[in-house]
Amino acid sequence: MTYSLRCAFKAFLALLVFGVLTASSSSSAQSPAHIRVAVVGLNHDHILGFLHNLPSHPEVELVGISEPDAALRQKYASRFHLPDNLFFSSEAAMLAKTHPQAILVYTSIAGHRAAIEQAAPLHIAVMVEKPLATTVEDALAIQKLAEKYNIPVLTNYETTWYASNTAANNLLASGQIGDLRKLVFHDGHRGPKEIGVSPDFFKWLTDPQQNGGGALFDFGCYGVDLSTWMTHGELPLTVTAVTLQIKPEIYPKVDDDSTIILTYPHAQVIIQGSWNWPFDRKDMEVYGVKGYVDTLYQDGAPGVKLRIRLPGEHAEHIEDAPALTPPHDNSLNYLSAVLDGTLKPEHDLTSLDTNVTVVRILDAARRSAQTGRTIHLKAEVEGKQ
């Protein structure tokens, strides 16, 4: 072999080795980190989604489940073929035994603070189901715990993982429909009893102390979360809400229909959360100065379609939203990225700062509905600072 051929061959080998190492490094960088999670509470039906989806996330290891109700523990052990040693009657015992990196909280909303108070001093991250809390007092206490122990506290909403919501916000941010003027949200279903939620879920969902309200908190929170994100965390000038009790024979203690109106200096937000829709829905309308984009809800494929009309177009058109990419495509990928330090939750749909503002707005809406007056929230909050 000539010198030139030997040099060429060595260069080829070097490139080959470099390529293999680069591919290996890239593959390693893209592989989700292994995380250990534990569940606190089993009386929230959203736990079903987590347990169904867990097998598709092999990097997520479920190390424990705490639930004081023995019947509930047995129900889930049987349904999902889970071993008895996975279950604990108290959160404290579970945390001491299993040492998870994060807890996923599936208690009533009012139970979030107590669950976090046990996990935070152990520097365990937290993800709760929406909304963060039932009161501003609890939300601020949770925020202080997160800051004191330097842990992420995340709030999980189904609509965070809708590609259509991200696409609509991106369209607004790009300036294609002009500055924001109006947001309209429609969220809810026929009602908890009507769709057949479990008795344990129904019990606290229809308790004003455990849930914060009825449809106002259960479904109003989706629009409040999205609008807070889309307005970059800005507090509304005013909050006005009206609630109805259309089915008092089913929901004697809480509202089952709600409308919240938020005003900003140059935009208005209308949030309609209800247990009286004829069909399930989680959709929104985004109106700018020059155009609009609506997200469409379809049974079996929510969060996929957009209806758009841009400047110069004579009619609206429907298109598919671009698919979300990891780690922004589902709650477990998001949590994994937060825990391994590749994602910092800040000012997004899941972050603590956004969700403290969400609770402030929901609390103001509840007070507005109770008193029949408009709450001047921004002035109220700034006056307390």
HSE at residue 199, side-chain half, CA atoms within 13 A, is 3
Annotated domain spans of the chain: 35-158, 162-324+346-384
Q: Rounded distance, CA 132 to CA 273, Å?
A: 17
The CATH number of domain 162-324+346-384 is 3.30.360.10 = yes
pLDDT score recorded for residue 300:
87
Q: Rounded distance, CA 50 to CA 331, Å?
A: 9
CATH T-level assignment (fold) for domain 35-158: Rossmann fold (3.40.50)
Q: Rounded distance, CA 239 to CA 1, Å?
A: 82
DSSP tally for the chain: helices H, then strands E: 15, 14
* C-beta separation of 35 from 59 below 8 A: yes
* C-beta separation of 33 from 339 below 8 A: yes
Sign of the alpha-carbon dihedral angle for 171, 173, 178, 182: positive
Beta-strand relationship, 317-320 and 305-309: antiparallel
pLDDT score recorded for residue 53:
93
**pTM for the whole structure:** 0.91
Q: In degrees rounded to 5, what are phi and psi of residue 375?
A: -100, 125
Locate all alpha helices (DSSP H) within 304-351, ordered by sequence: 331-339
Which of 126, 125, 88 is CA-nearest to residue 106?
126
Instruction: List per-block mean pLDDT (blocks of 10 residues) for the chain, which spans 385 residues.
Output: 38 38 38 86 98 94 98 97 97 98 98 98 98 98 98 98 98 98 98 98 98 98 98 98 98 98 98 98 98 95 96 97 97 96 96 98 98 98 80
Compute the residue count for the chain.
385
